[in-house]
Chains A and B, each alone.
Chain A
Amino acid sequence: GENVEQHPSTLSVQEGDSAVIKCTYSDSASNYFPWYKQELGKRPQLIIDIRSNVGEKKDQRIAVTLNKTAKHFSLHITETQPEDSAVYFCAASIQGAQKLVFGQGTRLTINP
């Protein structure tokens, strides 16, 4: 079945620097790749998503890139701020199964 690997599991960056989180997936038929942010004690919330017909998508300080050939996608956060501290999850769709498989999560800490 579909497997999603997410790295790193923890990431610490200085405020103002960039952060990059990477995910790889196994099912070449996957066509939808969302990213979720989960603050402590809260529910996961969608921050950005990308579909397989697009290579890159940007929303202010957040961007996602997709390499279908290599089966990996990445989340890029620029000019990081303390409120970016959270756990981030990537996910990939399972074609025809109407569900998503999640990566294990990355705990991002922004140091002031």
Chain B
Amino acid sequence: DAGITQSPRHKVTETGTPVTLRCHQTENHRYMYWYRQDPGHGLRLIHYSYGVKDTDKGEVSDGYSVSRSKTEDFLLTLESATSSQTSVYFCAISATGDNSPLHFGNGTRLTVT
């Protein structure tokens, strides 16, 4: 299995608080992605990174920001959490982007009360 670690695995937070999820990889892959998974919606891309300090928006980026200061770490921040952001968040990595497999982390279950 690809070396991807997500932390925390579970988190409960209150509406309006900031939350940061961390993804750490040991594969030295260039591309990293944050997806959210909700029933009936599959996996939707939030943000992705194609290198250190290089990031771009996905299809559901509103209310989220990301940072990548090192190859191995990709952080997802919910600036002011809302109940609609209750979801399971998956980080994924890829060696070459759109023409190679994604390898997923174990996910973070976030509940916003």
User: Which A residues between 83 and 110 are near B, CB-CB below 8 angstroms?
Assistant: 89, 91, 93-105
Q: Is B48 an interface residue (CB 8 A)?
A: yes
Q: Is B74 an interface residue (CB 8 A)?
A: no
Number of interface residues of B (CB under 8 A): 26
- Contact, CB under 8 Å: B98 / A97: yes
For B106, what are the chain A residues with a Cβ–Cβ distance below 8 Å?
42-43
- Complex CA gap A57/B110 in Å reads 37
- Complex CA gap A100/B48 in Å reads 11
Of B18-26, B39-47, B60-68, B78-86, which binds chain A?
A: B39-47
The A interface, classified by DSSP as helix, strand, loop or mixed, is strand
**A94-B98 CB under 8 A given contacts A89-B43, A99-B45, A102-B43:** yes
- Complex CA gap A51/B58 in Å reads 23
- Complex CA gap A30/B106 in Å reads 27
- Contact, CB under 8 Å: B42 / A103: yes
- Complex CA gap A98/B101 in Å reads 11
For A46, what are the chain B residues with a Cβ–Cβ distance below 8 Å?
101-103
- Contact, CB under 8 Å: B42 / A99: no
Given pairs A98-B97, A104-B40, 9 additional interface contacts (CB within 8 A): A31-B99, A45-B104, A89-B43, A99-B33, A101-B59, A102-B42, A102-B43, A102-B44, A104-B41
